[in-house]
Amino acid sequence: MKKLSRVMAALMCVLAFVAGECVAQYPARAIRIVVPVPPGASLDTLARTVGARLNARFGQTVLVDNQPGGAGNIAYGTVAKAAPDGYTLLLGWDGLQINVGLYKSLPYQLSNFAPITMAITTPQILVVNKSLPVRDLREFIALAKRQRGKITAASPGSGSPGHLAGALFMTLTGTELVHVPYKGGAPAVIDVLAGHVDSLFVSLPAVIQHVRSGKVHALGVSTPARAPTLPNVPTLAQGGIKGYELVSWQGLLTTAGTPPEIINLLSTEIVQILRSPEVKDILAPQGYEIVASTPAVLEAELKKGTEKWLQLIKQSGATAD
């Protein structure tokens, strides 16, 4: 009887969407933001920054649910299969697209998601631990060529943008680094600081404080222009890798089929949060470039940008190791 009651309630709510009744009641309970990395990573930081302010705006609890592992596929599958009611959100990034080219079997399709907003863009950055005897990118490349197959390069995980950034690096420089995947950027950063791995490709916000403090050496960023927050760090192209360019995004999505009224409400509220002076003052110094787009911008990225990553995967020969 309880199961039948829940089914009937869901059907009544679906019918009520026509009259806008359920939309008017949204949100009537807690919202969950699923994050495909552990606490402390840049995705997690963005989720918690947005979630705390959604909580204040909606008067409802907004929970951050970290589901690391499986190259993000665990988290992506959770949201893809969730009820299309706006109560389960995803803090996604390029890995959502990358996995399409790396894995033969996935618990989701890109069509399972409804974009809300492209929140930010950010460079990937190459950093090395201070014990490595290099001062700049050219010296690192020379060392990697002398010690072929011996220099370790960490990433936030197989299939992450950092993984692909490293693969592109090897393709364009003719080097062979040993990929060491982690379950998120935070544990990878810890190990490069401790000297357990030689180098790391990761999104700039995950490591910027350690670059500023001098605990790691930054050799270059992946974007066409230098990062405003680290103007003394050259781009990888300026450092000598001609043609190197990658720009990563992070954004919010929900399950496909969620009523447009709810998606528009979420987009409006989250965009206002991202554009607020308070949040800009939090995010910009960490290396985030705030975009705060409409759902259409992220939808276009999912459709067109995926091809870019598929070409890179093919070009680099990257695998889901």
Q: Where are the domains of the chain?
A: 2-121+249-316, 124-221
* d(C-alpha 72, C-alpha 66), whole Å: 10
Please check the confidence at residue 177 and state whether its pLDDT lies above 60: yes
- Tell me the pLDDT tens digit for each residue of 246-285: 999 999 999 999 999 999 999 999 999 999 999 999 999 9
The whole-number average pLDDT for the span 35-58 is 93
| Average pLDDT in the chain | 91
Tokens matching residue 52? 């705390």
| CATH architecture of structural domain 2-121+249-316 | 3-Layer(aba) Sandwich (3.40)
The CATH superfamily holding the domain 124-221 is Periplasmic binding protein-like II (3.40.190.10)
User: What is the residue whose two structure tokens read 């009744």?
Assistant: 21
Please check the confidence at residue 5 and state whether its pLDDT lies above 70: no
Check for a shared fold between 2-121+249-316 and 124-221.
yes
Query: How many CB atoms within 10 Å of residue 218?
Result: 22
**Residue 294: partners with Cβ closer than 8 Å, 6 or more residues away:** 117, 267, 271
pTM of the model: 0.84
Share of the chain above pLDDT 70, in %: 93
Please check the confidence at residue 237 and state whether its pLDDT lies above 60: yes
* d(C-alpha 184, C-alpha 188), whole Å: 7
Query: How many CB atoms within 10 Å of residue 259?
Result: 18
Q: Of residues 303 and 12, which shows the higher confidence score?
A: 303
What is the 8-class DSSP label of residue 184? S
Please check the confidence at residue 16 and state whether its pLDDT lies above 90: no
